[in-house]
Amino acid sequence: MKTWIQNGHVLDPLTGTDQIYDVLVDGKDIKKLGTREEIAKILKKEENVQVLDASGCYVMPGFIDLHVHFRDPGLEYKETLKTGGEAAARGGVTTVCAMPNTKPVIDTKEKVEEVHRRAKEESPVHVIQLGAITVGEEGKELADIKGMAEAGCIALSEDGKSVMNSALYREGMKIAKKYGLRIFAHCEEIDLRRDPDTGEDGVMNKCEKSEELGLPGITNSVEDIITARDIFLAKDTGVHLHLCHCSTKGTVDLMRMAKEEGVSVSAEVCPHHFILSTDDITEDHGRFKMNPPLREMKDVEALRQGIKEGVMEVISTDHAPHSAEEKDAPMRKAAFGIVGLETSASLTYTELVEGGVLTPMQMAERMSFAPARILGLENKGSVSEGKTADLVVFDPSREYEIDTDTFLSKGKNTPFDGWKVKGDVKYTLVDGKLVYKNKAYEEQE
């Protein structure tokens, strides 16, 4: 099957291509970029070709989300490989890294293989299952790192917590390095997560707003201390360290230091952390509860600057769906987490591109090219001939209002419900196959 994407503005961070081209997809690969006439010459008149109109749209490499929770296996009432994959496709995301804190925890070769097998059958997008660093994420003994590497997990993560035993963690890093795996770090000093004044488990950032709402707070040092530790351990072991869902100015400063020191390290920021601050928390409600928490404006500004400079080179979501009952509660009782797969591209375009922080090309780089390079996926993250046809057609002019009732994800937990945004996904292709078509354009066509 061939697909002809016509009149799109191609953005390719790999080659620097930034101009109007038609794109011909043949099977799973990009066959040709060129003019309408050049591509027409390649095609035979009798061929059945799917034509997609990309007029006024960017054609970008499909987004790669390094941080999602699909809750499958064991917590399918929150999300499944199918619903999570559908939500990803709607958001222009063609590859995801699924965190291992499911039930059971993904900590063996067999468990990774089973998720990969099922994902190929059930998810419209590529799912890379990450493995836990320790058995059951209990922090007591190392998991089957060699076996999980053989099963293609690419990276290890204890997401949801940190490995607090530094010696055990360092040994895990050394083994990960040996087998070519990356470490995705959730940086949280668990013994400091209690409010320093009340001793109660923190539920939001420690600041004037937490005092105003009478809620226990989480200080920036909870993240910064483990970020520093993990950077030094990565320097010792040589493993590539990827810092997940960064939220503080301190982490941005530490990233600059680490890169100056030549440490193999990368970092991601989520839209909720580079857009929202504690000033946006209007009430004590679970939709504002996430881990790490929303921080103060000085942190938001530092994160934005880090993204602009490329110090923080990846935009991911930490897509963490929960049931309505788990989130529709005061923060002390609600679960941590926010969904983001269906809104990340629109929020990024609205806040960072329209806001003058990033160019459209840099958006493609942060959301696709850089994640592909971190994972070592040489055939992804580019709109160039011979590469895998994982593509998104993104319309920068479409304005709409985020409506959680229309989400394909089972999770509706986001404070962005009702936000007006600019920019939307029109089409998503995975391995050359059209996996999402925006219904908003049907009347126009």
End-to-end CA distance of the chain: 21
**Placement of tokens 């993990």 in the chain:** 230
- How many other C-beta atoms lie within 10 A of the C-beta of residue 431? 17
pLDDT band with cut points at 50, 70 and 90 for residue 445: low
Q: What phi, psi does 82 have (nearest 5°)?
A: -70, -55
pLDDT digit string, tens, across residues 265-317: 999 999 999 999 999 999 999 999 999 999 999 999 999 999 999 999 999 99
Annotated binding site: 67, 69-71, 101, 159, 186, 245, 291, 318, 322, 336-337
Cα distances (angstroms) measured from residue 240 to each of 153, 233, 270: 15, 10, 20
Q: Nearest-CA neighbor of 281 among 349, 206, 220?
A: 206
* pTM of this prediction exceeds 0.95: yes
In DSSP terms, 186 is beta-bridged to: none
User: Which CATH number is 2-59+388-398+420-441 given?
Assistant: 2.30.40.10
Torsion angle of C-alpha atoms 370, 31, 124, 63, degrees rounded to 10: 20
pLDDT-derived band at 46, boundaries 50, 70, 90: low
Alpha-carbon distance of 254 to 331, in angstroms, equals 30
Mean pLDDT, residues 336-345 taken together: 98
Of residues 318, 390, 395, 424, which has the active-site annotation? Answer: 318
> Is 2-59+388-398+420-441's fold the same as 62-375's?
no
| Structural domain boundaries in the chain | 2-59+388-398+420-441, 62-375
AA identity, residue 291 = N
pLDDT for the residue numbered 317: 98
SS3 175: helix
pLDDT at position 444 is 59
Asked if the peptide bond before residue 73 counts as cis, ω within 30 degrees of 0, the response is yes
Tokens standing for residue 15: 């080659």
Mean pLDDT of 79-92: 98
- The DSSP 8-state label assigned to residue 357 in this structure reads S
Given a cut of 80, whether residue 47 has pLDDT beyond it is no
Whether 107 is a known active-site residue: answer no
> Which tokens go with 173?
């890093």
On whether the 62-375 domain is CATH 2.30.40.10, my answer is no
Q: Do residues 63 and 368 touch, judged by C-beta distance below 8 A? A: yes
